[in-house]
């Protein structure tokens, strides 16, 4: 008589520890925001991004991907890249805009929640080479990067600067819920050999980031953020040219 085996219970420790680290960094950012330490809060959110990136890669490399891990990761992302950046942004400058400021902050939180919910429903069926809409971590990088640059350089908070920041927050929120495609970089083979010059470029990039970390990370996040719409417009233009040739 064959007795059906019960599914193994428990979770994989390493990837979920990294997810917990990302969650802790996001929670720590909220605490530091409450204390008015906005630069520390910004750094904590960027640390959460590193931990969030590592947990997925570790899970794939060790073949420890689970439904529990995916759900836990989404909840962690909601705190670290949804609530924490919005709270930080509101504390820094959106509060100067009155009711419109808190509406913008809520819009970002809602967009992050919708982005994560859509991602979870498309697991296993979406093209793994691309993300539909910008992921929440790089969206948060644009918002948090602006605050970090402002805090790092001692910018005086004014109504017009807060208005510019509000436009950036709205832009980030719309990108998350858009259908604009972004490269996931999952098609890159990290195990194959690369030219020696590639290592040199990585070293130069690290050195470049160390010169002015906040400004460089903010610029890189903006480049990635605008890359989606730019590539979408380029693909649409190519399709129009192809249709004209066929006509």
CATH code: domain of residue 166:
1.20.120.1760
Radius of gyration of the chain (CA): 20
pLDDT at 186: 66
Residue 142 lies in a domain: yes
pLDDT at 163: 96
HEC states along the chain?
A: CCCCCCCCCCCCHHHHHHHHHHHHHHHHHHHHHHHCCHHHHHHHHHHHHHHHHHHHHHHHHCCCCCHHHHHHHHHHHHHHHHHHHHHHHHHHCHHHHCHHHHHHHHHHHHHHHHHHHHHHHCCCCCCCCEEECCCHHHHHHHHHHHHHHHHHCCCCCCHHHHHHHHHHHHHHHHHHHCCCEEECCCCCCCCCCCCHHHHHHHHHHHHHHHHCHHHHHHHHHHHHHHHHHHHHHHHHHHHHHHHHHHC
Residue 104 lies in a domain: yes
Residue 6 lies in a domain: no
Number of domains in the chain: 1
Residue 3 lies in a domain: no
Residue 219 lies in a domain: yes
Residue 97 lies in a domain: yes
- Domain residues for the domain of 167 are 13-188+198-246
CA 1 to chain centre: 51
Low-confidence ranges of the chain (pLDDT < 70): 1-11, 124-127, 186-194, 196-198, 247
pLDDT at 187: 61
**Torsion over CA: 218, 48, 112, 178 (sign):** positive
Residue 1 lies in a domain: no
């Amino acid at each position: 008589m064959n007795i059906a085996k019960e599914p193994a219970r428990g979770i994989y420790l390493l990837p979920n520890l990294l997810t917990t680290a990302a969650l802790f960094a996001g929670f720590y950012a909220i605490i530091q925001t409450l204390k008015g330490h906005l630069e520390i809060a910004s750094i904590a959110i960027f640390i959460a991004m590193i931990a969030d990136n590592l947990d997925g890669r570790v899970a794939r490399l060790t073949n420890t991907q689970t439904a529990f891990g995916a759900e836990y990761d989404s909840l962690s992302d909601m705190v670290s890249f949804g609530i924490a950046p919005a709270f930080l942004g509101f504390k820094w400058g959106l509060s100067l805009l009155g009711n419109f400021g808190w509406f913008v902050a809520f819009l970002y939180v809602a967009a992050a929640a919708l982005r994560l919910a859509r991602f979870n429903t498309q697991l296993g069926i979406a093209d793994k080479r691309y993300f539909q809409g910008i992921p929440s971590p790089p969206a948060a990088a644009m918002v948090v990067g602006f605050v970090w640059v402002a805090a790092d350089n001692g910018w005086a908070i004014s109504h017009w600067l807060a208005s510019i920041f509000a436009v950036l927050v709205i832009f980030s929120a719309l990108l998350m819920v858009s259908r604009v495609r972004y490269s996931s970089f999952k098609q890159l083979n990290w195990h194959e050999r690369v030219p020696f010059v590639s290592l040199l470029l990585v070293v130069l990039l690290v050195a470049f980031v160390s010169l002015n970390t906040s400004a460089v990370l903010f610029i890189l996040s903006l480049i990635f953020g605008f890359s989606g719409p730019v590539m979408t417009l380029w693909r649409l233009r190519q399709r129009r040219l192809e249709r004209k040739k066929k006509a």
